[in-house]
Amino acid sequence: MTPDSAEAKFIMMTETPVERLVCRMAGPTIIIMLISSLYNMADTYFVGSLGTSATGGVGVVFSLMAVIQATGFFFGQGAGSYIARALGSHHMERASGMAATGVISALLCGGTITLLGLTWLKPLARFLGATDTILPYACDYLFYILIGAPWMTTSLALNNLLRFQGSAFYSMIGMVSGALLNVILDPLFIFVFHMGVSGASLATMLSQFLSFSLLLAGCARSGNVRIDPRQFTPRLSVYREILRGGAPSMCRQIISSVGTLCINRVAGGYGDAAIAAMSIVQRVMMFANSAMLGFGQGFQPVCGFNYGAGRYDRVLRAFWFFMRVAFLILLVAGMTGFIFAPQIIALFRKDDPAVIAVGTTALRFQCATFATMSWITPANMMLQVIGKSLRATSLALARQGLFLIPILFILTHFFGVRGLQMSQSVADIATVILSASLATGVLREMASGRGKPEDVVSPENLPEE
């Protein structure tokens, strides 16, 4: 990154009207999230034609994919949030060192997941909740997903690094290209080459490798921080900074994986149809939530740059703008999902009435409380980006950990399958109350001008400029 391009980006991020800037940053990231969610939606859709057990096989692997994604987001969000604050404070060399460390660490961790997963493939599938009938499909799907784990973790890290620098366009090109390739390869491998569930996972692996390649190339363009392996700095102090910014994402993704695992295990007591139905609902809700998350990812670099520059007024304006837009998006999405729930579930398993019945009720429960995410997500993203790691991590753990898991077991004990269907909605109500208590104090501090710019970067942690 040259000094001139860095200064131009700094001026753009700290002087452009906030609402216009967030929308400019959010346009590509919304597309990224919508298209990227097709990775999972496409696999579920095409595999659905192979039967309920095959759909369940893809569903149980979803919790492992959340772990893989958690690893990529941990290094990407951790390094990226630091880089945004560092660029806002004109610490270019430190941003470069953090970028190299985050990306290479993500690649190494992805490789570790591959080795461990392939070594214990069948026990892993059992642990994820596969029943005897689902086990063969789960193992077939796991194989190529595990082989592609290094590219998945690294592409997600690169995606976040580009976003936090305000270069969402290059992030969009990489992620969207991979997702579109996945949609093309899925039916080709599954039906033309008769690879079944293995074909779906192979398509995902190849698509992720394409994303990785394009995202890496994007880091060398348009004033972005380059990934230079010579600046890899595997020091404890550096990983402490990554942990500070990445822990909320890691915890959110890991606890999401644990929550999904618990749902699969509880649903298994009601048969393969319940597992398939709940996995479909989770994919549908992820897709519905993706536009709001994409808008939030446009908010994050604006928040980080301006917090680093001490412009707390712009951080607050961006936060409230994000919340209002998110509420409108989620309200419309929730109403649509509630009304058309049977038709949505039938898109994936139209020939199985049991799947449709369980899935319809679960989807309607979640749609009824969907708009609560318009406070939960902005609060979590804001706390994470400005370095309030403890509060952000606590909030990240709450929705699908602190609240969902105990609520799931309590409600299913008293209400059976109906408790399974309503557990996420009850957890969402509890989470929105907690998020209000965690974020309100920080918002008041910034409103009074009492932010902490000295915490933006830690000069001793990265190489001197």
First to last CA, the chain: 13
Instruction: Report the C-alpha gap between 430 and 423 in whole angstroms.
Output: 11
**Which of 121, 112, 127, 6 is closest to 63 using CA atoms?**
127
Please determine, for residue 39, whether its predicted confidence score (pLDDT) is greater than 70. no
Residue 459: the pLDDT is 40
Phi-psi region of 196 (alpha: psi -120 to 50; beta: other; left: phi over 0): left
Residue 464: the pLDDT is 44
Q: Is the pTM of the predicted complex or chain greater than 0.75? A: no
Q: How much is the average pLDDT of 236-262?
A: 81
The length of the chain in residues reads: 465
Residue 61: the pLDDT is 87
Residue 75: the pLDDT is 93
Residue 452: the pLDDT is 55
Count Cβ atoms below 10 Å from residue 195 Cβ, excluding itself: 17
Place of tokens 């941990």: 74
Each residue of 104-149: pLDDT tens digit?
999 999 999 999 999 999 999 998 888 888 899 999 999 999 999 9
Residue 386: the pLDDT is 83
Between 99 and 38, whose confidence is greater?
Answer: 99
Between 207 and 9, whose confidence is greater?
Answer: 207
Please determine, for residue 465, whether its predicted confidence score (pLDDT) is greater than 60. no
Residue 453: the pLDDT is 46
Share of the chain above pLDDT 70, in %: 93
Q: How much is the average pLDDT of 74-85?
A: 86
Residue 461: the pLDDT is 45
Q: How much is the average pLDDT of 287-309?
A: 84
Between 378 and 13, whose confidence is greater?
Answer: 378
Q: How much is the average pLDDT of 212-223?
A: 83
- CA 132 to each of CA 56, 79, 257, 264: distance values in angstroms, whole numbers, following the listed order: 11, 42, 21, 14
Q: How much is the average pLDDT of 331-339?
A: 94
Residues 6+ apart with CB under 8 A from 36: 175, 176, 178, 179, 290
Please determine, for residue 150, whether its predicted confidence score (pLDDT) is greater than 90. yes
pLDDT band at 454 (very low <50, low <70, confident <90, very high): very low
pLDDT band at 391 (very low <50, low <70, confident <90, very high): confident
Between 445 and 221, whose confidence is greater?
Answer: 445
Contact (CB, 8 A) for 165 and 87: yes
Residue 139: the pLDDT is 94
Each residue of 395-430: pLDDT tens digit?
878 888 889 999 999 999 999 999 999 999 999 999
pLDDT band at 40 (very low <50, low <70, confident <90, very high): low
Each residue of 65-74: pLDDT tens digit?
878 988 998 9
**Which of 39, 52, 66 is closest to 261 using CA atoms?**
66
Each residue of 373-386: pLDDT tens digit?
999 989 988 988 88
Please determine, for residue 296, whether its predicted confidence score (pLDDT) is greater than 70. yes
Each residue of 131-143: pLDDT tens digit?
888 899 999 999 9
Average pLDDT over all residues of the chain: 85
Please determine, for residue 451, whether its predicted confidence score (pLDDT) is greater than 70. no
